[in-house]
Amino acid sequence: MKRILFICISVVYCFSLLAQNWDINTLHKINGWDSRFVRNFSNTMSKSAPYISIGIPVGMAIYGGISKNKPLLADAIYIGTSLAEAVVITSAMKGLIDRERPYDRYPDKIHPYSHESSSSFPSSHAAAAFSVATSLSIRYPKWYVIAPSALWACSVSFSRLTEGVHYPSDVIAGSLIGAGCAVMNVYVNRALNRWLFGWEKTPKVIRY
């Protein structure tokens, strides 16, 4: 029994070492891309995440309220609540896991182009971007919505690596949390729509 337990612990330890090595080695390579285009692009994408993530549902809500477009207002609530869920979950996980930022853990390998006060795992930027992108794609399943939304979310996530502030596993976890919140919130939002608007499900947006 002790031998089996020792083997299991050894296997888990080896896998964790391999995963950690892949994490830091991959980040080290991506963080080393230091052209002017990469730096400007990464900085712009990284800074765009909070403004676009919040701006889209807020803008939709304002326009829907002014134009009395209840379906559009319902979509804004769906996207906004999906975003809020993703932010709450990632914030809670950051506090519980408290993973050290890669530039603090490996100062000899990672050069930070920005500094963050919170812990590393998971990436809240990736969670927010993928939450909004997935929500938009679910509500407006057209290529001209899905393609730019996905491109923006992936760019934001990738920028967190080139900036040296997250491991690849942080970004992957954040993107899964964001997309997952958007998918699960479809069902939560049905109850919310019944309470707010008396609808069984969110109808298509009425355009005037």
Residue range(s) defining the domain that contains residue 55: 36-102+119-196
Count up the domains in the chain and report the number: 1
pLDDT > 70? residue 196:
no
Is residue 174 situated within a structural domain? yes
pLDDT > 70? residue 4:
no
Is residue 111 situated within a structural domain? no
Cα 130 to Cα 128: distance, rounded to the nearest angstrom: 6
Is residue 69 situated within a structural domain? yes
**pTM tops 0.75, yes or no:** yes
**Cα separation values, 58 from 51, 149, 187, Å:** 10, 17, 21
**Ramachandran assignment for 112, one of left (phi > 0), alpha (psi -120 to 50 degrees), beta (any other):** beta
pLDDT > 70? residue 10:
no
Is residue 189 situated within a structural domain? yes
